[in-house]
Structure 1
Amino acid sequence: MSDTEYHEEEVLARASQGDKDAFGALYERYAERIFNYVYYRTGNQHDAEDLTARVFQRAMNHIRNYTDRGVPFSAWLYRIAHNLVANWHRDRSRKQEIPIDDLPILPTKGDHPERNLVRSQEQDALLKMIRKLPPERQNLLILKFVENMSNAEIGKIMGRSEGAVKSLYHRTLLALRDQLEDQNLNLEGE
């Protein structure tokens, strides 16, 4: 067990006994990651801030019941976040999209405005395709590309084996590729 894991175990034990400073340390460690996850699932900063706060409020209210089942504490937080986001989508019965104006496009040296516009349109199209994927596949892509997690870490969070994560990842990328090819064919046919 590494020093970080040992330290986290100690902090978790203190937090589960009602130590608010210990819970604050857990909040500091995971708040940004949970916010990023929620933001990419909702596409709205204000809703992401609200849902992130609710994740940690729920975690604080139930940390006494937390038991280590061999998965990281972060997996418990991601499950809470996943459930709250699922309820948020169900309550709204439609998915939000990130407005294209919110996507940062940083010009690079020698870039032309036309290239930036094309890149922006491609990013928008890809985000729309990702948002149409089932929630499980969206979660996978967020954990893989936003949180830069390994397949093993993702498996612990999603309750799947590393092999199952690899398989889902492969199928997801193939589905996105097929959608992109179909879109490009449709554009060429116009």
Structure 2
Amino acid sequence: MADLNEEEVLQQAIQGDAEAFSHLYERYVNRIYSYIYYRTGNTTDAEDLTARVFQRAMGRITHYSDKGVPFSAWLYRIAHNLVANWHRDNSRRQEVALDDQPNLVMTGEHPEKQVVYDQEVEKLISVIRRLSPERQQLIVLKFVQQLSNAEIALIMSKSEGAIKSLYHRTLLELRTEVNGILEQE
């Protein structure tokens, strides 16, 4: 399997090869988990939803058809749908518990600086969680997954121009929200 490119592995998975699917799983599981975690803010739910993404993908891989988009876009679409259902089922927004929050940057700084940094990250996550689900998805795909506008457009089923416009409006909204917080302090 190691000498096959992704397209060849994908074709074998489509034909029912479980080992080929496991290679696709290994390639994408961390990215899908990260995407889901930042959309739910909870490791337990992110683990559960990630498992469900790959269960669903494995159950439907034989029906997968290449429509000119990367396989990852198909997985992100499944993840998006499951997260949307999760949010609908959990009517209240969940906050990221301090114990659950990933340590985004480890520094050799004084503990006081790390506490201040952690508080700033917590505030930013809180502001992002107030955005619409579509804008949250954009932020996660752009900054956490570090995808290009073209890749995001495929995943979100929008044009690249629509993504650029949404990105611009989202950054303006974030700036307004962050400035409001800073003025309150």
Shared fold (TM-score, shorter chain, > 0.5): yes
Q: Distance in 1 between matches of 2:90 and 2:25?
A: 28
Q: State how many pairs are aligned.
A: 180
CA contact (8 A) 1:100 1:120 kept: no
Counterpart of 2:77, as a letter, is R
Counterpart of 2:151, as a letter, is E
Cα 1:184–1:145 change in 2 (3 A) is: same
| Runs of at least 5 residues in structure 2 that lack an aligned partner in the other structure | none
Q: Distance in 2 between matches of 1:44 and 1:24?
A: 25
Task: Pick one of 153, 157, 162 that aligns with 1:155.
Answer: 153
Q: Distance in 1 between matches of 2:137 and 2:107?
A: 29
Cα RMSD between the aligned structures? Answer: 1.5
| Runs of at least 5 residues in structure 1 that lack an aligned partner in the other structure | 1-5
DSSP 3-state at the match of 2:5? helix
Question: 1:22-33 counterparts in 2 under 5 A?
Answer: 22-33=20-31
Q: Distance in 2 between matches of 1:33 and 1:107?
A: 24
Q: State the TM-score, normalized to the length of structure 1.
A: 0.89
Task: Pick one of 124, 137, 140 that aligns with 2:138.
Answer: 140
Q: Distance in 1 between matches of 2:121 and 2:144?
A: 15
Query: Which structure is higher in helix share?
Result: 1
Q: Which runs of 4+ in 1 moved over 3 A?
A: 111-114
Note if 1:116 corresponds to 2:105.
Answer: no
CA contact (8 A) 1:151 1:165 kept: yes
Tell me the CA shift for residue 136 of structure 1: 0.9
Q: Does 52-61 or 89-98 show the bigger shift?
A: 89-98
